[in-house]
Amino acid sequence: MAAGVAAWLPFARAAAIGWMPVANLPMPVAPTEKNKKQDELIVLNVSGRRFQTWKNTLDRYPDTLLGSSEKEFFYNEETKEYFFDRDPDVFRSVLNFYRTGKLHYPRYECILSYDEELAFFGIVPEIIGDCCYEEYKDRKRENAERLMDDQEDNKDSKLPNMTFRETMWRAFENPQTSTMALVFYYVTGFFIAVSVMTNVVETVPCGSVPNQKEVPCGERYTVAFFCMDTACVMIFTVEYLMRLFAAPNRYRFMRSVMSIIDVVAILPYYIGLVMTDNEDVSGAFVTLRVFRVFRIFKFSRHSQGLRILGYTLKSCASELGFLLFSLTMAIIIFATVMFYAEKGSSSSKFTSIPASFWYTIVTMTTLGYGDMVPKTIAGKIFGSICSLSGVLVIALPVPVIVSNFSRIYHQNQRADKRRAQKVQKARLARIRLTKTESSSAFLHSKRNGLFNEALELTQLPYKMSLSEQSSTKEEQHLGKSSSLLESQHHHLLHCLEKTTNHEFVDEQYYQQSYLEGGLQNYPQRSPSLSSQDGVTGTCCSRRNKKHNTPLRNASGPAHMQPLTHTQTHNRGLQELSTIHIQPLSTSRSSLNMRIDEPASLNCQSSQITTAIISIPTPPVTTPEGDAHLPTGPSHQNVVKVSAL
């Protein structure tokens, strides 16, 4: 329930008068206010600055420091105020959160101090309102990156016991670590440059054989070039194998971009070795040589800027995609228009629409080769519009890419947006969780409240000593956990249930019961059980978590047994129905059994006995229900299916 409208709860409860004459069942008892004090002002002294607010305002969020009894630790008896030795400026935002229900992040505040204050007062940062959330996240990310940059600078200290393999890997990744690494770094760089130069020079014509046509150098000095190529490929292969050996995670290394580039760079040579000088395959062989140019990408290990450029292009994929898409659209439109415009003129170069593509691209990128020119008036008009729009379409997405590059370059960060997306998902999940908590909170406390109610209703005659302990523990436990506001809200929802003669259940159970129509025969048991299961997961995990559950269960049926009999006689509709398998005398032994038994039996018995839910059933089905109870297996099968 939104705490901001807590003040309207009396109104909502009053509005329930519309349900009363309609309801066929009696309403549940309203929660009483034990100490009905008038609302009082609280003074919060934060480092000398006094803030005052109503006590009710702070009670809106009971799971924070100011809303719970934790603030009593800070109470100052002499001055009758709560003293906090914290920053008063940030406290303003914190207190406004209680007042308005929205948490704002002041821009001038340092992110770390703000986070500390929030953590101190027990407020989760995820509830920062949308107006300030982006700013908060950006500042947080910048701060995290700054921390990481500082950390990276301190990584130079040599760690003692590193294996040879780890030393090698560190040497490869970070050339500044040792002289050997630096030498290796420069040698590989040199050989990459040599290899690329060789490929380039190979094609330059250096013919000086007089009466023949010019031949490229590659064919003239075949052997020399071949030796050079072999040497480079040897070095590259050795380097690749060494990296593969040193990599901590070989599979991941082999999938990384750099290693793929390495492989592609050296493969053509080996394929060329394997293939013979066949005429048929020489065409393919020539194509393979093209891939040798990929060696130039190996330079990206040596240049930080190149890596950042590659990362920027990857991260701006959406802008690039938009650019491409809009360009394609414009090209097709203008090509079509130009084709039809120029169709009339004779000897037009615009022979087809695809032929017009070339003209459109050249015009839109303002190249203007002049090999295709429109001759008609319409063609010229549309051509000019084409070139004007080309400038616009290309100029629009480019600044986005540029700003991205500059941001990444300045921050020197990798995988930034990916992390932000994960956190965004986590944040949305948490917000969704708090929203569904309000409805599931009612279901939870409905069961707790019913136990409490049932225990209150059953007075002395059938109380066993065991249950006395458990009931007082119950009341204490419940008194602590739910505030008056919560209990009143739950009472309201309870009245609605009584009015309409239906119950609230959670989504999971509803799906299950909707799919399996066959649960109609066992209305008493299955829904209660699987609703509990649905909320808490598995029956066994529930048993593990709350070990006082069996106590309650034991006391429950023991008391309910006589009560249901009297109730069925007195009232037309039964308010509380229970499943009691064991008679009263053996409940104690069954209690022991429940605790000691192994998992499966414990699950079953705890499932069956925790069916204390007020389900209105006509009295005629009760004896049937009891009679059906001994038919354990089929019934349990049904339960187990729904528990899944």
SS3 letters for 547-579?
Answer: CCHHHHHHHHHHHHHHHHHHHHHHCCCECCECC
Tell me if residue 522 falls in helix, strand or coil. Answer: coil
Binding positions for another protein, 243-302, rule CB under 8 A: none
- Shortest spacing between CB 174 and another protein, in angstroms: 54
State how beta strands 75-76 and 49-54 pair: unpaired
Asked whether position 2 contacts another protein by CB under 8 A, the answer is: yes
Asked whether position 7 contacts another protein by CB under 8 A, the answer is: yes
Asked whether position 5 contacts another protein by CB under 8 A, the answer is: yes
Centre a 10 Å sphere on the Cβ of residue 243 and count the other Cβ atoms it contains.
19
Q: Of the ranges 164-172, 365-373, 380-388, 398-406, which one interacts with another protein (CB under 8 A)?
A: 380-388
Torsion of Cα atoms, 516 then 520 then 524 then 525, to 10°: -30
Binding positions for another protein, 44-73, rule CB under 8 A: 54
Which candidate, 302, 327, 295, 333, places its Cα nearest to that of 398?
Answer: 327
SS3 letters for 264-323?
Answer: HHHHHHHHHHHCCCCHHHHHHHHHHHHHHHHHHHHHHHCCHHHHHHHHHHHHCHHHHHHH
Asked whether position 35 contacts another protein by CB under 8 A, the answer is: no
Nearest-angstrom CA–CA distance, 239 and 247: 12
Asked whether position 601 contacts another protein by CB under 8 A, the answer is: no
- Identify which of residues 324 and 392 has a Cβ nearer to another protein in the complex: 392
Q: Considering only residues 348, 467, 499, 577, which one is a binding residue for another protein as defined by CB under 8 A?
A: 499
Nearest-angstrom CA–CA distance, 550 and 610: 9
Sheet holding 41-46, edge to edge: 49-54, 41-46, 81-84, 75-76
Q: Please, what is the Cα angle at 493 between 487 and 496, to 5 degrees?
A: 145
- Identify which of residues 169 and 522 has a Cβ nearer to another protein in the complex: 522
Q: Considering only residues 23, 264, 275, 629, which one is a binding residue for another protein as defined by CB under 8 A?
A: 23
- What six digits make up the tokens of 38? 């008038």
Q: What is the DSSP letter of 142?
A: H
Asked whether position 500 contacts another protein by CB under 8 A, the answer is: yes
Q: Considering only residues 22, 159, 274, 460, which one is a binding residue for another protein as defined by CB under 8 A?
A: 22
Q: Considering only residues 88, 122, 523, 619, which one is a binding residue for another protein as defined by CB under 8 A?
A: 523
Binding positions for another protein, 501-520, rule CB under 8 A: 501-507, 509-510, 513-514
Q: Considering only residues 106, 310, 321, 344, which one is a binding residue for another protein as defined by CB under 8 A?
A: 344
- What six digits make up the tokens of 126? 């995820």
- Shortest spacing between CB 124 and another protein, in angstroms: 20
Q: What is the DSSP letter of 38?
A: P
Q: Of the ranges 11-19, 128-136, 463-471, 472-480, which one interacts with another protein (CB under 8 A)?
A: 11-19
Asked whether position 497 contacts another protein by CB under 8 A, the answer is: yes
Q: Of the ranges 140-148, 193-201, 373-381, 412-420, which one interacts with another protein (CB under 8 A)?
A: 373-381
- Shortest spacing between CB 575 and another protein, in angstroms: 11
Q: Residue 461: is it exposed, middle or buried by C-beta count within 10 angstroms (0-12/13-18/19+)?
A: exposed
**Residue 389: partners with Cβ closer than 8 Å, 6 or more residues away:** 330, 334, 364
User: Which residue type, as a one-letter code, is found at position 559?
Assistant: H
Q: Of the ranges 60-68, 337-345, 394-402, 404-412, which one interacts with another protein (CB under 8 A)?
A: 337-345
Asked whether position 385 contacts another protein by CB under 8 A, the answer is: yes
What sign does the dihedral 254-258-264-269 (CA atoms) show?
negative
Q: x/- binding map, residues 397-426, to another protein, per CB under 8 A?
A: ------------------------------
Asked whether position 11 contacts another protein by CB under 8 A, the answer is: yes
- Identify which of residues 21 and 283 has a Cβ nearer to another protein in the complex: 21
Centre a 10 Å sphere on the Cβ of residue 153 and count the other Cβ atoms it contains.
7
Torsion of Cα atoms, 632 then 635 then 641 then 642, to 10°: -120
Q: Considering only residues 103, 235, 492, 591, which one is a binding residue for another protein as defined by CB under 8 A?
A: 492
> Which parts of 55-150 are beta strand (E)?
75-76, 81-84
- Identify which of residues 203 and 438 has a Cβ nearer to another protein in the complex: 438
Asked whether position 549 contacts another protein by CB under 8 A, the answer is: no
Asked whether position 615 contacts another protein by CB under 8 A, the answer is: yes
- What six digits make up the tokens of 600? 């499966």
Q: Considering only residues 35, 38, 161, 347, which one is a binding residue for another protein as defined by CB under 8 A?
A: 38
- Identify which of residues 446 and 542 has a Cβ nearer to another protein in the complex: 446
Tell me if residue 141 falls in helix, strand or coil. Answer: helix
Tell me if residue 2 falls in helix, strand or coil. Answer: coil
- Shortest spacing between CB 27 and another protein, in angstroms: 4
Q: Considering only residues 382, 405, 451, 522, which one is a binding residue for another protein as defined by CB under 8 A?
A: 382
- Identify which of residues 494 and 559 has a Cβ nearer to another protein in the complex: 494
Asked whether position 39 contacts another protein by CB under 8 A, the answer is: yes
Q: Considering only residues 124, 127, 496, 535, which one is a binding residue for another protein as defined by CB under 8 A?
A: 496
Binding site for another protein (CB under 8 A): 1-2, 4-15, 17-27, 30, 32-33, 38-39, 54, 337, 340-341, 344, 376-378, 381-382, 385, 435, 438-439, 489, 492-493, 495-497, 499-507, 509-510, 513-514, 523, 527, 531, 615
